[in-house]
Amino acid sequence: MEEVSVKNLKDLDRRRFLSSAGKGLGLMALSSSVVGSLFEKVKAAGKRIDHLSPVEAAMDEDYWATIQQSFAVSHGLINLNNGGVSPSPRMVTEAFVRYTWQQEEATAYTMWQLLEPQSETIRTGLAEIFGCSPEEIAITRNASESLEILLMGMDLKSGDEILTTTQDYPRMLTTLRQRELREGLKLNLIKIPIAPKNVDDIADAFERAVTPKTKLILISHQINLTGQITPVKKVCEMARSKGIETIVDGAHSFAQFDFKQADLGCDYFGTSLHKWIYAPKGTGMLYIKKDKIPKIWALMASENQNKNDIRKYEEIGTHSAAMRLAIGESILFHNAIGAKRKDERLRYLSRYWMDRIKDIPKVGFNTSFDPKQFCAIANFKIDGVNPGEIGSYLMSKHKIITTPIIHDEFSGVRITPNVYTTLWELERFAEAVETIAKKGIPKA
């Protein structure tokens, strides 16, 4: 590794983030020659298929082989559990390590005065992807922290109702139940259809459940259990017409499929960056509409002079600057692939395995085949076979990592490929599922 001095860091501080990668993104977080070389391969591969539409590019295996090589993943395991957390590309990991070494040079100076201020460029890059002002974006540690800031920071009074679903993320439900116990709020949980024929059925369920006391709607953009993409914009428009605010849990949707804030119309949005934008673990993003920042209390107290500043939500005490800055490389990687191209590839991979097993006797789905309702995450079941046993068998026998789901309303196995997943790996998975469906799980 090249030796880094404080003088070198001053030079880096002047020239880092100067070039551009992707439309309108005014940053280039190339932290070393190694990272630069890895990034050039991704850009060169993209140029070779620029003439293809995103749908056509999704099926170009030569291009995706280059993307697959950008990850240092083991192919001794087939990882079909990318929904919870994703591996980072090598260029992101290399950058994270390099930034870590840089901040250790003279930490009180290099971390706080040289590196940390560059987070502002990261804020701008995230805002460009989401389609909002940088002054509406806070950099957090994950979706849970982002959503906790909102759910705990909103002024509500006894008797006020919060509306969400029985399929919402458990930590968020726990947060709301705590406020329900402490403050007398009312949590209103509704059931929504599993794999609905019409996605508007979900929006209708929300509208029917609204009462005069409903003050807030929490809706998952993509439900983590099934991969169901919800009609967020329709729900948000309905809520706004009734004077109700909306929080969108975008933990799984951000950078998985292509959308902007205007496509949602929400007041608030929280997500993790260590999922589909492949940033270092422990990074997240919070969006709050500019005019609503003053009314949302910070989770950790901030001085009143920061009342209108989105940065008040980032005051968490001493934390590494390296993780935040390496988000820059993940933005570059995401933009080099292209949001729409990535969206179509992930749908293609999901359709591949779903189509492969859909006609096998006993196999069913908890996810719709409607392309508007799914992307990288889907959930299948085998009649008469426990999902936990399916997951255990796939791992022990075939080294395939999956996510068994047991819910009060349904059960199944969640499958989540990623851009580094090969068709050969999906074929191996499909063959294993076919064997289980036809012959059952062999007894030990």
Is 98 in the same domain as 237? no
Q: What is the pLDDT of residue 226?
A: 98
Is 415 in the same domain as 387? yes
Q: What is the pLDDT of residue 298?
A: 96
- What residues make up the domain containing 256? 120-321
Asked, for residue 281, whether it belongs to a domain, the answer is: yes
Residue 375 belongs to a domain with what CATH number?
Answer: 3.90.1150.10
Torsion of CA 312, 316, 321, 323, to 10 degrees: -100
Asked, for residue 77, whether it belongs to a domain, the answer is: no
Residue 276 belongs to a domain with what CATH number?
Answer: 3.40.640.10
* Tokens of residue 359, six digits: 């006609």
Is 311 in the same domain as 234? yes
Q: 307-348, pLDDT tens digit by residue?
A: 999 999 999 999 999 999 999 999 999 999 999 999 999 999
Q: What is the pLDDT of residue 13?
A: 39
Is 35 in the same domain as 131? no
Asked, for residue 428, whether it belongs to a domain, the answer is: yes
Is 168 in the same domain as 199? yes
Is 105 in the same domain as 186? no
Asked, for residue 79, whether it belongs to a domain, the answer is: no
| Among 260, 291, 321, residue at a domain's last position | 321
Q: How far are the Cα atoms of 7, 102, 177, 251, 386 from residue 4, in angstroms, in the given order?
A: 8, 7, 50, 36, 55
Question: Which residues of the chain fall below pLDDT 70?
Answer: 1-31, 444
Is 304 in the same domain as 370? no
Per 3-state DSSP, the chain is made up of helix, strand and coil in percentages (nearest 5) of 45, 15, 40
Residues 299 and 61 sit within 8 Å (Cβ to Cβ): no
Q: 237-264, pLDDT tens digit by residue?
A: 999 999 999 999 999 999 999 999 999 9
Is 159 in the same domain as 279? yes
Q: What is the pLDDT of residue 143?
A: 97
Q: What is the pLDDT of residue 444?
A: 63
Residues 223 and 173 sit within 8 Å (Cβ to Cβ): no
Asked, for residue 1, whether it belongs to a domain, the answer is: no
Q: What is the pLDDT of residue 31?
A: 59
Residue ranges of alpha helices (H) inside 114-209 are 119-130, 143-153, 170-183, 200-209
Count of the separate structural domains present in the chain: 3
Closest alpha carbon to 237 in 274, 210, 198, 272: 210
- What number of other Cβ atoms are within 10 A of residue 294's Cβ? 12
* Tokens of residue 165, six digits: 């679903």
Is 66 in the same domain as 189? no
Q: What is the pLDDT of residue 37?
A: 87
| Among 321, 352, 382, residue at a domain's last position | 321
The residue type at 33? S
Q: What is the pLDDT of residue 5?
A: 42
pTM above 0.85, yes or no: yes
Is 288 in the same domain as 370? no
Asked, for residue 78, whether it belongs to a domain, the answer is: no
Is 158 in the same domain as 11? no
Asked, for residue 424, whether it belongs to a domain, the answer is: yes
Asked, for residue 382, whether it belongs to a domain, the answer is: yes
Is 216 in the same domain as 272? yes
| Among 287, 321, 355, residue at a domain's last position | 321
